[in-house]
């Protein structure tokens, strides 16, 4: 083609903007509930209690910030990799509208206590159906663009994107099956132990298909773009891809160790969790080796910092995760604050770091201008890194502390500590954690300001040209 | 070919995903909740208990409270309340399960065994103002549950869940508050399977006589134990609140030991055999015997 392909990026911009809005709300609500754990008088009954706010925090984070920005990035990447404009820009616009209405309704209904209580599948059935519709509309748009593509070869990012489209559909539909009582209440289609097993098959693979394969698709696309190095090994990427999507689905029951779920399912989950280190580190090593020894870019290119730091947290996350999936270690730290420490290294570290880097890159491309301020972007990097490390490290300490106190017994077999003694011992960590949230939020504010100014700069330049 | 045909690729990815799914998620339906798991004594929820369960879900209690006693000794000791670890058959009527993933507060799978009081006085006081019972608790106050229970859908819920109910069960809902419903649910948890409480608790101390006759030597520790474990029901100054005043007692040391260890079910006094070892119980006995004005 002699002419440059016209890409459709309005919806990319729309999804980026709105995902940042929902992401900020997720962080603010997160700070509020972290304060509530340290000072219970901050609960405002009935709407702003911890029990109703925590699902808003997780849903705004996963669906608003996570899925919202993945849709943006998938629209952006798919068009470039296929050298084809988006199949239907109109459908993309409609998807964005429904997406925002759905996330806003999710926040309102959860505050009202309309809650299925299955983690990350809390939304009642009418909203769950709308979420599924959003996903299908988005998937059709991406898949049709791939079908009509002008570039025959499909780069590894497209593989991850397509696996995400299929995987999320299967998981979300099955775990949301239920028997509606009325518009705002339904009961799960499964009961007791079966329901738990289905829930964590879903819960853990939401980590796979929402918090792993999409950021990997994004990482594989943007790291070579940012560093100007080709990906180290396409073949390693492909082997890691198939083994990752094969193994992940076996591991859900590591959330249910020592519970009434049949022992063999727990053991299989444990084994596959450990095996997952291989494909996870396949991606990590592919990232490191793509740097091609040009590590000075960590100093000279702010985007490389976000990407490499992100993949490093992915590497740490996928070592810590399998460790937690072992029965003896799980007995120690499961149900404690160790786990939120682990989860936030994945979300605030890995996923968000990669998204920050990708967003800066995309925004500068779309505005056809340089970033407004590299200094601010660097400050943003250090603030979110510090916030995330303080969060995770304090929670790991709190988890080990409370876990060991809860297990401690006297020589006659009675418990050494009362539950309250263990809780009082972790209050100081709750306060430090709340501070870490404010640090992270400060970084986020710099990010938003920088993005806003860059868009403005782009708009000004266009006006000038015209 | 895979690098060029997205349709075949998507089908293949689906197949790969379904292998683990089929083996670890779909196949287990064949065994879980089958006849091997069933426990005859476990009963479905009454309309009031199910309403309570729905309120537990509405308030998101599962965000801080788990509901599975793991097969670990410390779990059974701490959360078994005289019962044992959780079994699959206990949960067959739970749609959805409420096992949770974080214990910011204690596990509640067997909480019904802890406070035997049929009126649920401890729960009521605790739900209305948790810090009045457990001063350092970070639980939010749920006093707003003292509002009339909406029973519009109660009967339809029973039908949808295929739980048996009688007209008397439905009549029982009249005039009940949301607080009554959630307490009814709390009191049901873990109580279906009979527990021989007296057997589970320490029948008699290993040391037959109280080794701590000199109160002064242990007063500090005993007072701290008292304010942690006893003050919430007997008052910080032993003046009595939910439970009776404890300003000196005519009972023998051995009798007091037995009461603390085993509890008195009829009066709502819980058993402390899992949270206090023998030494601690003896120290409390010595403190309680002291006649304070």
Please write the tens of the pLDDT for every residue from B83-135.
899 999 999 999 999 999 999 999 999 999 988 888 899 999 999 999 988 88
Highest mean pLDDT among A366-370, B236-240, B263-267 belongs to A366-370
Domain residue ranges in chain B:
6-30, 47-195, 199-289
Q: Which architecture characterizes domain A215-466 according to CATH?
A: Up-down Bundle (1.20)
Average confidence score pLDDT of chain B: 91
Q: What DSSP designation does B120 have?
A: -
The residue that leads in pLDDT, B248 or A195, is A195
* Segment A181-196 mean pLDDT: 97
Q: What is the pLDDT of residues A357-383, one digit of tens each?
A: 999 999 999 999 999 999 999 999 999
Element (H, E) at B278: helix B278-289
Q: What is the pLDDT of residues A306-337, one digit of tens each?
A: 999 999 999 999 999 999 999 999 999 999 99
Domain residue ranges in chain A:
8-189, 215-466
Q: What is the pLDDT of residues A253-294, one digit of tens each?
A: 999 999 999 999 999 999 999 999 999 999 999 999 999 889
Q: Given 1.10.760.10, 1.10.8.50, 3.90.1150.10, 1.10.150.110, which CATH number is that of B47-195?
A: 1.10.760.10
A464 has a pLDDT exceeding 90 = no
Mutate to test the interface with B, among A32, A51, A122, A408 (most CBs of B within 10 A): A51
Contacts of B140 in chain A (CB under 8 A): 36, 40, 43, 45, 49-51
pLDDT of residue B202: 55
A9 has a pLDDT exceeding 60 = yes
In whole angstroms, what is the distance from residue B184 CA to residue B186 CA?
6
How far is CA A136 from each of CA A13, A87, A91, A139, B69, rounded to the nearest angstrom?
Answer: 20, 14, 11, 5, 40
pLDDT tier for residue B265 given thresholds of 50, 70 and 90: confident
* Segment B163-172 mean pLDDT: 97
**Interface residue A195 vs chain B (CB under 8 A):** yes
**Interface residue B28 vs chain A (CB under 8 A):** yes
pLDDT of residue B197: 55
Contacts of B70 in chain A (CB under 8 A): 257-259, 331
Q: How many CB atoms lie within 10 A of CB B207?
A: 11
Q: Which of residues 423-442 of A touch B (CB under 8 A)?
A: 423-424, 427
Residues A65-85 as b or e (16 or more Cβ within 10 Å = b): bbbbbbbbbbbbbbbbbbebb
Residues 6+ apart with CB under 8 A from B112: B186, B187, B188, B189, B190, B191
pLDDT tier for residue A3 given thresholds of 50, 70 and 90: low
* Segment A46-71 mean pLDDT: 98
In whole angstroms, what is the distance from residue A37 CA to residue A386 CA?
22
Length of chain B (residues): 293
Q: Which of B92, B140, B156 sits opposite A49 (nearest CB)?
A: B140
Q: Which of B92, B103, B139 sits opposite A335 (nearest CB)?
A: B103
**Interface residue B94 vs chain A (CB under 8 A):** yes
How far is CA B162 from each of CA A194, B45, B165, rounded to the nearest angstrom?
Answer: 18, 10, 9
Contact at 8 Å (CB) between A382 and A442? no
- What topology does CATH give the domain A8-189? Cytochrome C Oxidase; Chain A (1.20.210)
Residue B29, CB-side half-sphere exposure with 13 Å CA sphere: 10
Q: What is the pLDDT of residues B7-58, one digit of tens each?
A: 999 999 999 999 999 999 999 999 999 988 999 999 999 999 999 999 999 9
Class of CATH domain B199-289: mainly alpha
Q: What is the C-alpha R_g of chain A?
A: 22
């Amino acid at each position: 083609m002699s002419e440059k392909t016209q890409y459709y990026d309005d919806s990319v911009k729309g999804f980026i903007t709105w995902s940042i809005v929902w992401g900020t709300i997720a962080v603010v609500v997160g700070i509020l509930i972290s304060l509530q754990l340290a000072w219970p008088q901050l609960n405002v009954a009935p709407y702003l209690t911890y029990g109703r706010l925590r699902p808003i925090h997780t849903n705004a984070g996963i669906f608003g910030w996570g899925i919202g920005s993945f849709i943006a990035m998938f629209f952006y990447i798919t068009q470039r990799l296929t050298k084809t404009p988006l199949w239907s820009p109109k459908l993309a616009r409609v998807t964005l509208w429904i997406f925002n209405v759905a996330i806003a309704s999710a926040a309102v209904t959860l505050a009202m206590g309309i809650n299925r209580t299955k983690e990350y599948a809390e939304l009642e059935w009418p909203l769950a159906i709308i979420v599924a519709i959003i996903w299908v509309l988005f998937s059709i748009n991406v898949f049709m663009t791939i079908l009509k593509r002008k570039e025959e070869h499909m780069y590894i990012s497209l593989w991850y994107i397509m696996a995400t489209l299929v995987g999320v559909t299967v998981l979300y539909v099955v775990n949301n099956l239920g028997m509606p009582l009325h518009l705002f209440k339904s009961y799960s289609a499964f009961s007791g132990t079966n329901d738990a097993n289905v829930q964590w098959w879903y819960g853990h693979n939401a980590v796979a298909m929402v918090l792993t394969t999409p950021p990997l698709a994004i990482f594989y696309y943007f790291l070579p773009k940012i560093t100007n190095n080709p990906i180290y090994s396409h073949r390693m990427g492909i082997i890691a891809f198939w083994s990752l999507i094969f193994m992940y689905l076996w591991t859900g029951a590591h959330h249910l160790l020592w519970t009434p779920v049949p022992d063999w399912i727990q053991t299989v989950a444990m084994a596959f969790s450990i095996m997952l280190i291989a494909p996870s580190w396949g991606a990590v090593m592919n990232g490191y080796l793509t740097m091609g020894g040009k590590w000075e870019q960590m100093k000279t290119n702010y985007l490389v910092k976000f990407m490499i730091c992100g993949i490093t947290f992915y590497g740490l996350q996928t070592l810590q995760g399998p460790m937690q999936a072992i029965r003896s270690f799980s007995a120690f730290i499961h149900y404690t604050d160790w786990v939120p420490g682990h989860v936030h290294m994945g979300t605030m570290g890995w996923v968000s770091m990669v998204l920050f880097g990708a967003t800066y890159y995309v925004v500068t491309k779309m505005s056809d201008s340089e970033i407004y301020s590299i200094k601010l972007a660097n400050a943003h990097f250090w603030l979110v890194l510090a916030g995330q490390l303080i969060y995770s490290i304090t929670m790991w300490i709190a988890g080990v502390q409370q876990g060991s106190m809860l297990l401690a017994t006297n020589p006659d077999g009675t418990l050494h500590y009362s539950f309250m003694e263990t809780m009082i011992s972790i209050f100081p960590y709750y306060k430090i954690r709340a501070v870490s949230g404010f640090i992270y939020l400060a970084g986020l504010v710099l990010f938003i300001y920088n993005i806003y100014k860059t868009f403005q700069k782009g708009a000004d330049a266009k006006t000038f040209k015209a | 070919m895979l690098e060029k045909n997205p349709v075949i690729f998507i089908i293949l990815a689906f197949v790969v995903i379904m292998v683990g799914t089929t083996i670890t998620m779909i196949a287990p339906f064949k065994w879980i909740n089958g006849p091997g798991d069933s426990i005859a004594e476990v009963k479905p929820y009454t309309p009031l208990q199910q309403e309570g369960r729905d309120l537990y879900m509405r308030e998101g209690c599962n965000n801080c409270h788990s509901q599975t006693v793991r097969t670990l000794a410390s779990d059974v000791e701490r959360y078994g309340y005289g019962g044992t670890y959780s079994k699959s058959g206990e949960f067959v009527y739970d749609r959805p399960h409420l096992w949770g993933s974080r214990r910011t507060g204690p596990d509640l799978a067997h909480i019904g065994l802890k406070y035997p009081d049929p009126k649920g006085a401890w729960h009521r006081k605790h739900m209305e103002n948790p810090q009045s019972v457990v001063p350092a608790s970070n639980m939010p106050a749920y006093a707003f549950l003292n509002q009339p229970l909406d029973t519009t859908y109660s009967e339809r819920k029973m039908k949808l869940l295929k739980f048996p109910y009688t007209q008397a069960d439905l009549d029982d809902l009249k005039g009940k508050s949301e607080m009554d419903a959630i307490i009814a649910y709390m009191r049901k948890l873990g109580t279906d399977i009979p527990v021989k409480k007296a057997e589970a608790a320490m029948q008699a101390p290993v040391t037959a006589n109280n080794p701590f006759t000199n109160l002064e030597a242990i007063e500090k520790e005993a007072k701290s134990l008292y304010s942690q474990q006893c003050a919430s029901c007997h008052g910080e100054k032993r003046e009595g609140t939910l439970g009776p005043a404890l300003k000196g007692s005519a009972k023998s040391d051995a009798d007091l030991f037995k009461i603390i260890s085993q509890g008195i079910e009829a009066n709502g006094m819980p058993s402390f055999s899992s949270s206090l070892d023998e030494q601690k119980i003896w120290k409390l006995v010595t403190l309680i015997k002291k006649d304070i004005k």
